[in-house]
Amino acid sequence: MRFFTVLSTTVLFTVVTALAQDAGATRADWPHYGGSPYSWRYSALDQINTSNVKSLTPAWMFQTGDYAENLQATPIVVDGVMYVITAQAHVFALDAGTGREIWNYRYPPVPRNIPGFSGNRGVAVGDGKVFFGTKDNYVVALDQKTGRLAWKVNVDDARQCGCNITAAPMVVKDKVIVGGTGGDGAHRGYITAFNTRTGRLAWRWYVVPGPGEKGNETWKGDSWRFGGGSPWLTGSYDPALNLLYWGTGNAAADFYDTERVVAGADKTKDVNLYTASVVALDPDTGKLRWHYQEVPDDIWDYDSSYEVVLLDRQIRGRMRQALLHMNKSGLTFVLDRATGEYLGSFSVPEVRTWIAGVTEDGKLVGRNEPVMGKATSICPSAAGAKSWNSTAYSPRTGFLYVPVNEMCNDITPNNHPADEGKNYMNGDFPFKLPAGRTTFSHVDAWDPVTGKRAWSMPYKYVLLASMLATAGDLVFTGNPEGDFYALDAKSGNKLWSYQTGAGHRGSAVSYSVNGRQYVATPTGWHSSVVGALAQSLFPDQDWRLGSTLVVFALPEGSR
């Protein structure tokens, strides 16, 4: 009997593990923002591989016609149909094999007095609908077949909260779940879930707990009201554990903590919960299951809103259900995704001045905090050792592929009072290049178990496009000069490159239609926010804007 229990437990464990590992990759479809709900950005397709990638050629292109900003969306592909959204929320359904338009939907122009940047990082598809967020803070559902409006619901008055939605929503079972922006303003961030069929509110989870809730005691006075923490990107989901994972944003005010941190707070413990954290929520109820705060008292604008990569790996002799999570500082945490237990960490930027290091149990050591009234040089910058563009993980190499930027900023804090929905960064932070460097970014391959860098390919400017890994042992990404290229996943050697005519700030995907593998990339340099900041460092460069989807495949007949 006992033997039987052990045996069945082993069998069950093996099955669960196998499920998790299988579910991480995409195949013919690219159904979610991060590829699968595990956010690997890894395709199991290997038709295009290291031996034939040099023959890769454009199969079709699609000009969106919306040139207000660049195309940053991750295209979603389901059953041979691609769904893509532009900066001004023009949504297209395209035949993924040919680029033929099936339908389009244009969200009405947003009044010019609505604050926020135009930009949209993707749609979510599920329950026969296409979901997206808008600049004026609506979640919108279209009929997947016709593109007709099914429902729309306002999440918050953008004029009051100074918040909106640029992230792709996420569908989990019968809910569409969305994070918002606003954490650099006087705002209290949250994640909201709506019923996919009716649009009715399912739950809302506030990043910053209110009075009487656990964690509220980590805030000074009533600073929780405008504590920031906006989770402005897209989460991940583990169906076996039924846990939803999301990264949360920086505390507000960003660079001045006197109003929000209780005097004498121990910064080796949680401060200003649940900002700059990874949280695991019950997707059915929105209840918090566990949290791990990566940057207690985040005074560098190192928000942790980035993607959460779910993977199963042998760590110190034991198979772990783990997650990888990088925040803007480039410090990447390896946690047990069932419990939030700290398993390890590694830091990707080569120039780091914000902390001296991390202890065995994950505590930050030697905090270099900006001081009121003077400029403190901090590396990496608030633009991030990585920006919001995603990493990719390949189970074949076991490496996490990371676009790393080496920038610093001189932070001078100020103490403007909070004014709801208005800027509450409370600091000046001009960007600069680190002294003595000739290259300002690199694509890296990191082994998350050993915390060692396997290879690194330097690049002279910045890198702000996502990574795509494939079973063909290729890693795809693009640069601001317009090159879209493939690296050997094992060595980092460049195997192929194509000049797409405009800079890259989006996220490439891979999928197949009728047995033919495609690699699709959005193009167009980002003309505001970090794109513009980065470009201001290189005034002699003319990185072209645009909004075109470029799709590659091997030539017909060559397969």
Residue from 148, 212, 540, 558 binding another protein (CB under 8 A): 148
Instruction: State the Cα–Cα distance between residues 458 and 34, nearest whole angstrom.
Output: 25
Residue from 177, 295, 425, 486 binding another protein (CB under 8 A): 425
**Which single residue is written with the structure tokens 């338009």?**
101
Per DSSP bridges, beta strands 288-293 and 277-281 are antiparallel
User: How far from 472 is each of 446, 492, 493, CA to CA, in Å?
Assistant: 19, 14, 14
Q: Is 556 exposed, middle or buried (0-12, 13-18, 19+ CB in 10 A)?
A: exposed
Query: If you write DSSP's letter for every residue of 215-284 in order, what string do you get?
Result: TGGGS-TTGGGG-B----S--EEETTTTEEEEE---BSSSS--TTTS-TT--TTS--STTTTEEEEE-TT
Applying CB under 8 A, the span of 181-189, 262-270, 341-349, 396-404 interacting with another protein comes to 181-189
Residue from 7, 201, 365, 371 binding another protein (CB under 8 A): 201
List of residues 6+ apart from 127 with CB closer than 8 A? 171, 174, 196, 197
198 binds another protein (CB under 8 A): yes
Per DSSP bridges, beta strands 400-405 and 431-432 are unpaired
The footprint of another protein on this chain (CB under 8 A) covers a number of residues equal to 53
161 binds another protein (CB under 8 A): yes
Sign of the alpha-carbon dihedral angle for 445, 450, 452, 455: negative
Distance of closest approach, residue 14 Cβ to another protein, in angstroms: 43
Query: Of 301, 303, 312, 444, which residue is the catalytic one?
Result: 301
What is the pattern of x (binds another protein, CB under 8 A) and - over residues 222-261?
A: ---x------------------------------------
Decide whether 351 or 375 has the Cβ nearer to another protein.
375
Decide whether 411 or 468 has the Cβ nearer to another protein.
411
> If you ran DSSP here, which 8-state letter would residue 53 be given?
G
Distance of closest approach, residue 250 Cβ to another protein, in angstroms: 12
The torsion region of residue 15 among left (phi > 0), alpha (psi -120 to 50) and beta comes to alpha
Task: Verify whether residue 447 is a known catalytic residue.
Answer: no
Sites for another protein among residues 114-133 (CB under 8 A) = 114-115, 117-118
366 binds another protein (CB under 8 A): no
533 binds another protein (CB under 8 A): yes
Distance of closest approach, residue 348 Cβ to another protein, in angstroms: 23
Decide whether 100 or 204 has the Cβ nearer to another protein.
204
What is the pattern of x (binds another protein, CB under 8 A) and - over residues 379-398?
A: ---x----------------
377 binds another protein (CB under 8 A): no
Give Cα 11 to chain centroid, integer Å.
34
Residue from 42, 92, 105, 151 binding another protein (CB under 8 A): 151
Decide whether 38 or 255 has the Cβ nearer to another protein.
255
195-200-205 Cα angle (round to 5): 75
**Encoded tokens for 403:** 């676009």
Instruction: State the Cα–Cα distance between residues 230 and 211, nearest whole angstrom.
Output: 19
Applying CB under 8 A, the span of 112-120, 228-236, 273-281, 512-520 interacting with another protein comes to 112-120
528 binds another protein (CB under 8 A): yes
Query: Of 480, 468, 529, which Cα lies nearest the Cα of 505?
Result: 480
Sites for another protein among residues 402-421 (CB under 8 A) = 412, 414, 416, 419-420
Distance of closest approach, residue 181 Cβ to another protein, in angstroms: 11
Instruction: State the Cα–Cα distance between residues 121 and 198, nearest whole angstrom.
Output: 24
290 binds another protein (CB under 8 A): no
Residue 478 · residue 485 · CB < 8 Å: yes
Strand positions, DSSP E, 73-211: 76-78, 81-85, 90-95, 101-106, 124-126, 129-133, 138-143, 149-154, 170-172, 175-179, 190-195, 201-206
Decide whether 7 or 201 has the Cβ nearer to another protein.
201
Q: Which of helix, strand or coil describes residue 203? A: strand
Sites for another protein among residues 444-503 (CB under 8 A) = none
Applying CB under 8 A, the span of 170-178, 199-207, 340-348, 439-447 interacting with another protein comes to 199-207
Determine how many CB atoms are found less than 10 A away from the CB of residue 483: 16
Decide whether 55 or 285 has the Cβ nearer to another protein.
285
Residue from 5, 113, 438, 558 binding another protein (CB under 8 A): 113
Distance of closest approach, residue 206 Cβ to another protein, in angstroms: 9
516 binds another protein (CB under 8 A): no
Query: If you write DSSP's letter for every residue of 363-374 in order, what string do you get?
Result: -EES-----TTS
68 binds another protein (CB under 8 A): yes
Rg, C-alpha atoms of the chain:
22
Residue from 394, 527, 547, 548 binding another protein (CB under 8 A): 527
Applying CB under 8 A, the span of 25-33, 357-365, 388-396, 426-434 interacting with another protein comes to 426-434
Residues of this chain that bind another protein (CB under 8 A): 67-68, 112-115, 117-118, 148-157, 159-161, 184, 187-188, 194, 198-201, 204, 210, 225, 382, 412, 414, 416, 419-420, 422-425, 427-430, 527-530, 532-533, 536
List, by residue number, the catalytic residues.
301
